[in-house]
Every structure is written in structure tokens, then in C-alpha cells.
Amino acid sequence: MKLERNCPLYFPHVLRLLFEKVMIRLFIESRSGPSPLCELLLEKRTSSSESQGTGCGCQGLKRDGAVDISDGNNLKHHNSANVYSEKANETPHAAEHDVLSKLVHLQGGWFMMGTDDPGIPQDGEGPQRRVWVDPFYIEEHEVTNQQFQDFTNQTGYITEAERFGDSFVFEGLLSEKVKSTLSHAVAAAPWWSPVKGADWSHPEGPDSTTKHRMNHPVLHASWADAQSYCRWAQRRLPTEAEWEFACRGGLEDRLYPWGNNLMPRGQHYANLWQGDFPTQNTAEDGYANTSPVMSFPANGFGLYDMVGNAWEWTADWWNIHHNTEEKKNPKGPESGTDRVKKGGSYMCHKSYCYRYRCAARSQNTPDSSASNLGFRCVLDPDP
């Protein structure tokens, strides 16, 4: 049984209830002078970082993280049908050059990675540290559905979502028909559901298609799928340091790839969420779902959609503990359970997922795939 909107436990209702309780408390306190709670809230409000909610829940999407709620509260782990075999997906052909994204050459050098003013401290955004990256090339936009189709057509590659038979989709994008078939939801983020038949060419389930959006970022690619594509392209996934260097576009200590102002001259610079997450997306930026790549202005390096549109996998394992020691070409921890993703997506809103900043970061298990997660590749210069 799913939690319906008329159920008092339905998440938006709970949120509204909490909000009302806080407002009543603040009203009472305003009559008797500021209390510690009020001062704390005021301090948060005026802080430049404005620490926000911890997320759209997509960092918690795991293939064993979905619980069966079709039978009351009987919690059953959702077992994967198949196990990915990298060997079975070896790619014998290399990509033709003209189907790949244009590369932008970056000089590399020292830059300040992370931030001392973290929007979401528990993500390990800080401390700010001096990091060197060698010169590299990076694709100017996220890998598109067209490019991923070229890859699968040429190699016969089967993605992990296709092997498992499902992938996570944001419920707000599902047709009523697909919604009626759902028996699972993610406990901590009920707006996410594993949908049978959802994969890169059926982003919102079996009755959806990418035909009308071949120039949008490919979604539902797991970390291994992204790696396999980059290998076919004779490229690789960026390290987190390379990705963040690229995101900053040559600017120092700025929130976004273009500066500190989210909407310079009132213009949208990234495909994000406007309205109330997760119930109302006003799509003021023109897009409630993904947008064609390069629909928003490029950063100073000529790179598009570094924040927003689709989240982007990086090569690094996830770790939240960093120090201020200078590092050259850091590659993250030797091992881990999750991989780092960067940039946020069209689902990010400040109230819920303030992660459309260059220093922001999040994670997923490598076999996860979702309707807001994609990637781009990088290339090392000839030695």
C-alpha cells in the first residue's frame, strides 16, 4: 500500500505540519523576545551559505534500498534480478569521432577545491584546499541520448538498468498508467520509485521514449555504464577534482560556474527546479524535466550544464573527510561503497537540494541509476 496524498503521513503534509508548528512557535517567541531557537533560525537565514535541506533523496537510491510496501508494513528487500558482468559488456569497437562530444582543452593548474562555507556540511564540501590538476580535455556537454544510442548500437552494450529490469524514476514524471503498477517506494524519499522497464531509452518507464529528446542528457546510466561509454569513446570519467576545476570556469571561490548570483540580470543560467519540491514544478526556466544540452549559457571555459540538467558521475569513491593539505591530481579514496556525483540536476531546489554549486557533491552506489543522473567524459592529452 502506498502513502496517498490524503494520508496524514504523506510527506508534503508532514512537511507542511512541521512548518506550521515552527511558524506558531516563532510567533509566540516574537511576543516574548528572541529565543535561542529564533536566533538560530535568524542566523541561518542571514548566513551567506544558507544551509539547506539535505536533498531530493536521490543520494539514497540503492538497488537494495527500495522496500516493498505492497503488503502493509512488511519490509522486503528488493532483490536485483541480475548481476552486472563487465566482461559480458566488453566493448570491441571504438567510437567514430564525429559522434562524440567536442572536447575543450583546460590548462589545469592550482585551484581552490571545496568550500569553507559549506551549503551542506555533512556532504564533506569542506575544507577549502589547494589542489593541482594536470592539463586535460573535457566534453563540452553531458553525453546525450543520441550519443549513448550510437554507443549501444555499435557495441550491443546492455546497461545495468536493463539487466536489473528497473531503474529509479521521480514519481512526478510518471504516467498514471505506470503509477498504477508501482508497488515500491524509497522509504526516505517516497517521490522516488523503482520502475520496471525504466532505462536510458525509456526514462519514465516502458511507455516513454527518448525519440523526441535525442539531444537531452542520457539518464539511467550507472557508474559502470558511464565508464563503459567513456572507454568506448577512448576517454575516461573525470576525477572529482577535474570536474570541479572545470565547473569553476576559471573563477575563484564562487558558488556557481558563472559567479555568486543565481540569476544574473534575472536570467536562468541552469536547468533547476522552481516551485515547491516535490509537488509543484513551475518550470520557470522552461523545463520541468531535462533540457537539450547547451540550452543555458556556457561557463568561462565554454562548458555547458556543469550544474543542473543531469547529475554527473565522477571517477572517485565517496568520502566526506578532507584536510587542507595541498594535493596534486587527487583521485579520492582507494576504495568505498559509493561514487561521487557532481552538479545537481533539474530536480534541485534550494529548499531541498542546494547542490547546484561547484563545491557541492553527493553520492550513489555504482550500480544505481536514476532519472536525473548522467555523465560526461574527459581525455588526457598526448604525452
Count other Cβ atoms within 10 Å, centred on residue 355: 30
- Of the two residues 136 and 273, which places its CB atom closer to Ca ion in the complex? 273
- Rounded Cα gap, residues 39 and 36, in angstroms: 5
**29's grid cell:** 517567541
Only segment of 36-44, 111-119, 306-314, 354-362 that touches Ca ion (CB under 5 A) = 306-314
Q: Using CB under 5 A, which residues numbered 186 to 225 contact Ca ion?
A: none
Q: How far is the CB of 308 from Ca ion (least distance, A)?
A: 6
- The number of residues in the chain equals 383
- Of the two residues 164 and 258, which places its CB atom closer to Ca ion in the complex? 258
Q: How far is the CB of 165 from Ca ion (least distance, A)?
A: 27
Q: Using CB under 5 A, which residues numbered 243 to 282 contact Ca ion?
A: 271
Residue 142 buriedness (CB in 10 A; 0-12 / 13-18 / 19+) = buried
- Of the two residues 84 and 375, which places its CB atom closer to Ca ion in the complex? 375
- Of the two residues 89 and 239, which places its CB atom closer to Ca ion in the complex? 239
- Of the two residues 155 and 309, which places its CB atom closer to Ca ion in the complex? 309
**206's grid cell:** 516502458
Q: How far is the CB of 309 from Ca ion (least distance, A)?
A: 5
Count other Cβ atoms within 10 Å, centred on residue 209: 12
Distances in whole angstroms, Cα of residue 142 to Cα of each of 86, 102, 220, 361: 23, 11, 13, 17
Which ranges of the chain would DSSP assign to H, the alpha helix?
11-31, 36-46, 145-155, 160-164, 176-179, 223-232, 240-248
Q: How far is the CB of 260 from Ca ion (least distance, A)?
A: 19
Q: How far is the CB of 102 from Ca ion (least distance, A)?
A: 16
- Of the two residues 299 and 309, which places its CB atom closer to Ca ion in the complex? 309
**140's grid cell:** 563540452
- Of the two residues 309 and 364, which places its CB atom closer to Ca ion in the complex? 309
Binding test (CB under 5 A) with Ca ion, winner from 139, 150, 305, 316: 305
- Asked if 309 touches Ca ion (CB under 5 A), the answer is yes
- Of the two residues 194 and 217, which places its CB atom closer to Ca ion in the complex? 217
- Of the two residues 69 and 251, which places its CB atom closer to Ca ion in the complex? 251
Q: How far is the CB of 285 from Ca ion (least distance, A)?
A: 4
Only segment of 67-75, 128-136, 154-162, 301-309 that touches Ca ion (CB under 5 A) = 301-309
- Of the two residues 150 and 285, which places its CB atom closer to Ca ion in the complex? 285
- Rounded Cα gap, residues 376 and 293, in angstroms: 11
For residues 311 to 350, the per-residue mask of contacts with Ca ion, x marking binding by CB under 5 A and - elsewhere, is: --------------------------------x--x----
Q: How far is the CB of 312 from Ca ion (least distance, A)?
A: 5
Using CB under 5 A, count the residues that bind Ca ion.
8
One DSSP character per residue, 319-337 reads -----S--EES----S--S
- Rounded Cα gap, residues 285 and 277, in angstroms: 15
Q: How far is the CB of 125 from Ca ion (least distance, A)?
A: 17
Q: How far is the CB of 303 from Ca ion (least distance, A)?
A: 10
DSSP 358: T
Buried-state track 27-53, b at ≥16 Cβ within 10 A, e below 16: eebeeeeeeeebeebeeeeeeebeebe
Q: How far is the CB of 26 from Ca ion (least distance, A)?
A: 31
CA atoms within 13 A on the CB side of 10: 12
Please list, in sequence order, all residues whose beta carbon lies within 8 angstroms of the beta carbon of residue 267, skipping any fewer than 6 positions away.
297
> Which residues would be at the binding site for Ca ion (CB under 5 A)?
271, 285, 287, 305, 309-310, 343, 346
